[in-house]
Amino acid sequence: MDYVAYYDSPVGLLKLIADDTAIIELSFEKNSEDNIPINSISRSTSPIINQCIVELNEYFTGNREVFNVQIKPLGTPFQERVWNKLLSISFAKTVSYASLATELGDIKSIRAVGTANGKNPIAILIPCHRVIGSNGHLVGYGGGLWRKKWLLDFESKRKQGELFG
Residues forming the active site: 128
C-alpha neighbours within 13 Å on the C-beta side of residue 112: 15
Q: Which of 133, 125, 63 is nearest to 95 (CA)?
A: 133
Q: Are 152 and 124 in contact (CB under 8 A)?
A: no
If you write DSSP's letter for every residue of 79-108 in order, what string do you get? Answer: HHHHHHHHTTSPTT--EEHHHHHHHTT-GG
135: number of Cβ within 10 Å: 7
Q: Are 17 and 3 in contact (CB under 8 A)?
A: yes
